[in-house]
Structure 1
Amino acid sequence: MPSSLQKTRKQIAKKRNGEVNALHAKSRDSFRLHKAAIRDQRLEKLAAARGKKEQPILDRVAFFHEELAKKDNQPLDVEAVQSLIQKFIHQYDEEYDSVKKARRSGRPPSTKEDMLKLKIKALEAEYEKGFVLPDVTSAESAKLLENWKGEWAYLSTLSWVKVSSTGQMRAAELPSKDAEVGGKMTQCGCGYCGAGCEAYICDVERIARYAVEDKWGLGFEKFGSS
């Protein structure tokens, strides 16, 4: 789709017989071009932010979509679902162990190590209360997930459930991309949170922010350093 800037340039070029680069800095057409460029930048930022919010949920759905396909897209019982939840939670264990072993003796944990540890801890805490995922326990819901092609909009057609570590299952809703804190909407943007994260600006992101600002004085140079 053409950007606002492209369309505006085309309109001005048509009006000026192809002359766009010789505009006076304070002319009306220059102002139109500047305004269109600002609008494009704003839309790009909004799209990037939206993608960042959606990605953890999409990653979670993709995991269960792939696992269900390995089982011929047949509905699963709760015990099988619990096994997949455990697999999802502990998919980061190997990376965490590797980062931990690579740390030199006497050095504090890296930002990445802390984030992975908190990631696993947050997922385990969610599972204890109720892990959010697309329902795969009925033929109808399994078929809906099978037909998913990666689109965000399609997720609202899926049935959602929460499955706890004790095996209790109850109906749920598509996880929100935002979390409400004291009446104020605040989005966690760490990129490590699970879709069910209800930690507002979660501990994972808080560690990242402390690392960026080096509030602990540990010498972290940037988010995600190791």
Structure 2
Amino acid sequence: MRPAPPPLMLFAAGLGTRMGPLTAARPKPMITVAGRPLIDHALSLAEEACINRIVANSHYLPEQIDAHLGPRGIPVSREYPRILETGGGLRQALPLLGGNPVLTLNTDAVWTGDNPLMQLMENWDDGQMDGLLLLLPSDAATGHTGTGDFLIDGTGRLSRARGASGAVYLGAQIIRTDDLADIQDEAFSLNLVWDRMIARNRLFGLIHNGGWCDVGRPEGIELAEALLEYRP
């Protein structure tokens, strides 16, 4: 019997400041791409992967996230009065997630090819991994600017690129949550957790079998719709 999928955390609390006026009256996950809100693209991936427990976080214009997810029975971890970043946000949501490890997925991207959540689950090795991140070479990551985030060795283990040409983290991972309790800050990035895992040689990467587009800026909408071959 196949094990039950891990719970999924959808990161939906960002301010979306790079989107300019597009987020003046709506949070970034509610921006429409290819005829659907961005967060619905993420939810479709979760549905295809048969993930039963999903939690989202919210901060900016949270009522819109609540109204969109409430009818689907998806609980929302509201971050108030300050945004908690990825690490603090995940830690706050742990009682709602109720599992370890957990999947996490950013809601400001679109994907083609293999389902990223299914790729992660199929390649997770609980015996040697504390984290498994989905990556693409920087020249294959549509909408991404700058160099890559990580170097990946022949065993799949990750180290920091530190200016070298590396692979880009795509905002999808499986991660054990044990390290979250040891960080004193209320708001913090998961980068702190990844560095601990790198030091233990237990952070791994996997190259995504397909395409990906960041929708963090207005121009990303057109790029994403071209990737999806969307014709309105």
TM-score range, shorter chain: under 0.3
Q: Normalized against structure 2, the TM-score is what?
A: 0.22
Larger radius of gyration: 1
When you count helix as a share of all residues, which structure comes out higher? Answer: 1
Q: Normalized against structure 1, the TM-score is what?
A: 0.22
